[in-house]
Amino acid sequence: MTNCQEDFIDTLVDDLSNIVASLGINRVAGQLYILLFFSQEPLSLDEMTKRLKISKGHVSTNIRALERWNAVRKIWVKGSRKDYYEANCDTLKIILIQLKLGLNQRFDELDKIINNGKNKIESIKKNNTQESIEVTLDFEKKIKQVEKMEKELRRLLDALKFFPF
């Protein structure tokens, strides 16, 4: 591979991984994915280590995270004992699946918190002073507002599947 080709990819790796990192995704995972995305051939851990100038362990850990997300896959290369990887280039699908997974987890947590809140409101209602009635009314209103927001967000997330990609 000529030098200007590697330069082309390396520049993209640097620039694009900045965006990835700014979105809260591990920078090294981003670098690895981008490197593989633009490479014409699968790369071994050693090659990735050399290209990104980071430690072998670091590459190993992060490539397996990418594997878990189905963002890269291991490729068998005859006559070599090394693990080679190539990118799954369906980037948008990977992003949306991960997004959905992450948000659904949070929604489930939120459900627990909301139920907890509702139970507490019931028990406050038992100490049935005039003051407590007013206060619980307000709490109830606000908990319902949170519930409504969650419902809307769930619906929004669900609607992604109708989007014509």
State how far the Cα of 147 lies from the Cα of 55, in Å rounded to an integer. 46
Q: Please choose, out of 16-24, 46-54, 55-63, 71-79, the segment that lies near its own copies by the rule CB under 8 A.
A: 16-24
Rule CB under 7 A: say whether 86 interacts with DNA: no
Binder of its own copies out of 21, 65, 97, 135 (CB under 8 A): 135
- Among 10, 153, 154, 157, interactor with its own copies by CB under 8 A: 153
Cα(136)–Cα(113) distance, integer angstroms: 17
Q: Are 85 and 73 in contact (CB under 8 A)?
A: yes
Q: Which is nearer to its own copies, 46 or 158 (CB)?
A: 158
Tokens 């989007």, residue located: 163
- For residue 120, give both structure tokens: 């507490």
User: What tokens does 153 get?
Assistant: 């967000």
Is 58 among the residues that bind DNA (CB under 7 A)? yes
Task: Select from its own copies, DNA, none the partner in contact with residue 127, using the beta carbon and a kind-dependent cut-off of 5 to 8 Å.
Answer: its own copies
* Rounded Cα distance, 6 and 52, in Å: 11
Q: Is 89 in the site for its own copies (CB under 8 A)?
A: yes
Residue 82 DSSP label: S
Instruction: Verify binding: residue 127, its own copies, rule CB under 8 A.
Output: yes
- The Cα–Cα gap between 146 and 154 comes to 12
Q: Any idea which residue has 């809140």 for tokens?
A: 117
Q: Residue 2 binds which entry of its own copies, DNA, none, with Cβ cut-offs from 5 to 8 Å by kind?
A: its own copies
Site for DNA in 19-38 (CB under 7 A): 26-28
Q: Which does 139 bind (CB under 5 to 8 A by kind): DNA, its own copies, none?
A: its own copies
Q: How far is the CB of 61 from its own copies (least distance, A)?
A: 20
Task: Report H helices in 23-129.
Answer: 27-38, 45-52, 56-68, 91-126
Which residues contact DNA (rule: CB under 7 A)? 26-28, 44-46, 53-58, 60-61, 63-64, 79-83
